[in-house]
């Protein structure tokens, strides 16, 4: 079976005072090739830990992750990663950042130059290739990060709050770009976000996680990303269906947050998850 | 509307009037950017000091033994430039000191940078070298002179060995902190792009550590310049430090003062040169 299989992974960190933190508790999930999946949850629910395990930066205390039937034991070029910010190589130009992966792999220069040119067009940065990355705005830097990841032609793209540091307008534009890339490349995309709207808009599947211990509480199938490929993004986000879902998920997250803060509000639907 | 007289650009340049940004600020005390260069006062103090020197020289108010006259200093500069000092041309005195500094800093960097990298990357190296580096760091290089003389004598090797030690620990610490300043997301990104450990070292850690290494080089240059002059004061027959020491023995106060000015000027040029190199080679500094 291809795709990503997360098989009952648990992650326990031991604190200096001897206590244990269950960042993840027996989390299982199958992600099919070509799916775009968003992961949402209050802080401390283990979503970043989950992504780091998928990327191979952490190894789970228990269970395993298989990617195309191979157990993930470390980072690899078949699983590309887009970080929130600051992961570009500021000593390189836009071109050299994008060609980093192919260069490390020893690919022919001409081939990666052509690919880079093509990607610059796709992410809307044509003509910026020779610029040093530190001269670009935050949104443009994230475009470079996406192009750099795609230049390596990974099987899966993992995104750790890729738009979290951007202003609201840039963020909307970038959401459109991510959907466009998903449609054009057919890659599997797993995306972590703090924004409910973004999670609904960018996930044909939305995984909601809860903390203490970190676990999956909901797994929604959503029509919005596919709708957005043919309709205006604002129309999708303003549709009654989208708004209703947004309120539902939002109140779910709110309740979890209240519980963490010790608000004493009863949480519905979590105990049986 | 309130009347606002625009001050002349000369007054702004001299720091006697606020520029258009500062003029709009109501809070100036405590806002560093609202403090003007005060260029007028800089020019004033230089003119005052020079005038004082001219006046004391003309009226013979200070014995040349304590401070040379301005005319005598001028004559001495011409003599030093044409005849040199003690049969050695002036440029050779300056050149040998600069050579020693560069030799010391470069050899220190050559050993110190790999050492610092290994301490940032391997716990064995960190464990092995940490006690030595931490012990040597607070020792002023000048305190090593007696030992260096016992080991190497007083020839050229001794001076370069001293400067090597002075720069070695600075460079080690700079390279090590360069490694630890790498954002882990950059390393993760490189691994996810398929880079090997060696490629990470060459293409991520090294360029990322360059700004800190450059700061280390600048500090080393400064420390070594100070150390070389002091070392030459102790034992040398050539070099700016030895020049002023020997001049003192002959009560040539003017040569001593000229030597001090040369030391200051060269130190300043070295600092400017390093800043220039920094701008050219690491324009991304502080922009990660």
Summarised one tens digit per residue, pLDDT across range A83-140 is 988 799 999 999 999 999 999 999 999 999 999 999 999 999 999 989 999 999 999 9
Beta strand residue intervals within A32-102, DSSP E: 36-40, 62-67, 70-71, 79-82
Under 8 Å CB-to-CB from A142, ≥6 apart: which residues?
A: A82, A85, A162, A163, A166, A174
pLDDT of residue A267: 46
**Stretches in chain B below the pLDDT threshold 70:** 1-4, 288
pLDDT of residue B179: 95
Pairwise pLDDT comparison (A155 vs A43), residue with the higher score: A155
By DSSP bridging, strand A4-14 and strand A20-31 are antiparallel
**pLDDT at A272 exceeding the cut of 70:** no
**pLDDT at A271 exceeding the cut of 50:** no
Tell me the pLDDT of chain B averaged across its residues. Answer: 91
> In whole angstroms, what is the distance from residue A273 CA to residue A231 CA?
34
Tell me the nearest-neighbour CA distance from A88 into chain B, angstroms.
7
pLDDT of residue A49: 92
Cβ <8 Å between B287 and A134: yes
> In whole angstroms, what is the distance from residue A52 CA to residue A59 CA?
8
What residues of B are in contact with residue A115 (Cβ under 8 Å)? none
**pLDDT at A269 exceeding the cut of 60:** no
pLDDT of residue A263: 52
| CATH 3.40.50.300 placement within chain A | 1-78+156-273
> pLDDT tens, B149-193?
899 888 888 899 999 999 999 999 999 999 999 999 999 999 999
Long-range contacts of B62-66 (CB under 8 A, 24+ apart): B64/B253, B64/B254, B65/B251, B65/B253, B66/B253
**pLDDT at A54 exceeding the cut of 50:** yes
> Which run of H or E residues covers position A210?
strand A205-210
Average pLDDT over residues A53-80: 92
Which residue of B lies nearest to A84 if distances are taken between CA atoms?
Answer: B185
**pLDDT at A148 exceeding the cut of 90:** yes
Considering the four listed CATH numbers 3.40.50.2300, 1.10.3720.10, 3.40.47.10, 3.40.50.300, the one that applies to the domain covering A1-78+156-273 is 3.40.50.300
- b/e per residue, A78-96, with b = 16+ CB within 10 A? bbbbbbbbebbbbbbbbbb
What residues of A are in contact with residue B212 (Cβ under 8 Å)? none
Q: Could you report how far apart the first and last alpha carbons of chain A are, in Å?
A: 26
- A35: closest CA among A189, A161, A153? A189
DSSP string for B224-238: HHHHHHHHHHHS-SS
Cβ <8 Å between A91 and B191: no
Cβ <8 Å between A76 and B192: yes
Cβ distance B218 to B281 under 8 Å?
no
What are the tokens at B267?
């130190």
- A85: closest CA among A186, A176, A174? A174
Cβ <8 Å between B189 and A77: no
Cβ distance B86 to B246 under 8 Å?
yes
Under 8 Å CB-to-CB from B223, ≥6 apart: which residues?
A: B141, B166, B167, B170
pLDDT of residue B4: 63
Set out the domains of chain B in order of their start, with CATH numbers: 90-281 (1.10.3720.10)
φ/ψ (deg, to 5) at A253:
-65, -40
Average pLDDT over residues A202-218: 91
Q: A188 forms bridges with which residues in the sheet? A: A156
User: Where residue A212 falls among pLDDT bands split at 50, 70, 90?
Assistant: confident
Q: Which residue in B181, B192, B203 has the most chain A C-beta atoms within 10 A of its own C-beta, making it the best mutation to test that interface?
A: B192
pLDDT of residue A243: 92
Q: What is the ipTM of this complex?
A: 0.89
């Amino acid at each position: 079976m291809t795709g990503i299989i997360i098989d009952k992974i648990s992650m326990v960190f031991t604190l200096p005072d001897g206590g244990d933190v269950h960042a993840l508790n027996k989390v299982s999930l199958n992600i099919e090739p070509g799916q775009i999946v968003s992961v949402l949850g209050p802080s401390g629910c283990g979503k970043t830990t989950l992504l780091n395990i998928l990327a191979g930066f952490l190894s789970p205390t228990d269970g395993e992750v298989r990617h195309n039937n191979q157990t993930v034991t470390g980072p690899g070029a078949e699983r590309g990663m887009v970080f929130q910010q600051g992961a570009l190589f500021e000593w390189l130009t836009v071109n050299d950042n994008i060609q980093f992966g192919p260069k490390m792999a020893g690919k022919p220069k001409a081939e990666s130059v052509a690919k880079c040119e093509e990607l610059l067009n796709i992410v809307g940065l044509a003509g910026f290739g020779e610029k040093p990355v530190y001269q670009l705005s935050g949104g443009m830097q994230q475009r470079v990060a996406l192009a750099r990841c795609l230049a390596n032609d990974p099987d899966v793209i993992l995104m750790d709050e890729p738009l979290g540091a951007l202003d609201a307008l840039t963020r909307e534009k970038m959401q459109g770009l991510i959907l466009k890339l998903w449609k054009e490349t057919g890659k599997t995309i797993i995306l972590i976000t703090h924004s409910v709207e973004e999670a609904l808009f960018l996930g044909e599947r939305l995984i909601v996680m809860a903390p203490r211990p970190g676990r999956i509480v909901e797994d929604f199938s959503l029509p919005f990303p596919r709708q957005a490929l043919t309709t205006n993004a604002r129309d999708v986000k303003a549709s009654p269906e989208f708004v209703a879902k947004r309120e539902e998920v939002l109140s779910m997250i709110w309740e979890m947050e209240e519980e963490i803060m010790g608000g004493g509000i009863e949480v519905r639907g979590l105990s049986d998850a | 509307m309130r009347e606002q007289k625009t001050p002349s650009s000369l007054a702004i340049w001299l720091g006697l009037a606020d520029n258009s940004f500062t003029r709009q600020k109501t809070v100036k005390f405590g806002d560093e950017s609202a403090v003007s260069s005060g260029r007028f006062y800089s020019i004033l103090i230089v003119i005052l000091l020079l005038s004082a020197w001219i006046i004391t020289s003309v009226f013979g108010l200070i014995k040349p033994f304590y401070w040379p006259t301005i005319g005598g200093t001028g004559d001495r500069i011409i003599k030093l430039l044409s005849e040199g000092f003690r049969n050695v041309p002036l440029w050779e005195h300056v050149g040998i000191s600069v050579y020693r500094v560069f030799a010391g800093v470069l050899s220190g960097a050559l050993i110190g940078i790999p050492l610092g990298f290994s301490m940032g990357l391997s716990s064995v190296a960190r464990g092995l070298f940490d006690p030595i580096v931490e012990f040597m760091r607070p020792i002023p290089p000048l305190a090593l002179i007696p030992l260096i003389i016992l080991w190497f004598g007083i020839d050229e090797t001794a001076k370069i060995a001293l400067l090597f030690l002075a720069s070695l620990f600075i460079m080690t610490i700079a390279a090590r902190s360069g490694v630890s300043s790498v954002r882990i997301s950059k390393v993760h990104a490189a691994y996810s792009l398929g880079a090997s450990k060696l490629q990470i070292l060459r293409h991520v850690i090294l360029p990322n550590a360059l700004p800190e290494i450059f700061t280390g080089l600048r500090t080393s240059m400064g420390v070594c310049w100070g150390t070389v002059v002091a070392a030459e004061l102790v034992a040398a027959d050539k070099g700016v430090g030895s020049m002023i020491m020997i001049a003192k023995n002959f009560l040539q106060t003017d040569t001593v003062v000229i030597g001090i000015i040369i030391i200051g000027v060269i130190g300043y040029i070295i600092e400017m040169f390093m800043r220039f190199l920094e701008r050219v080679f690491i324009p991304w500094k502080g922009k990660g």
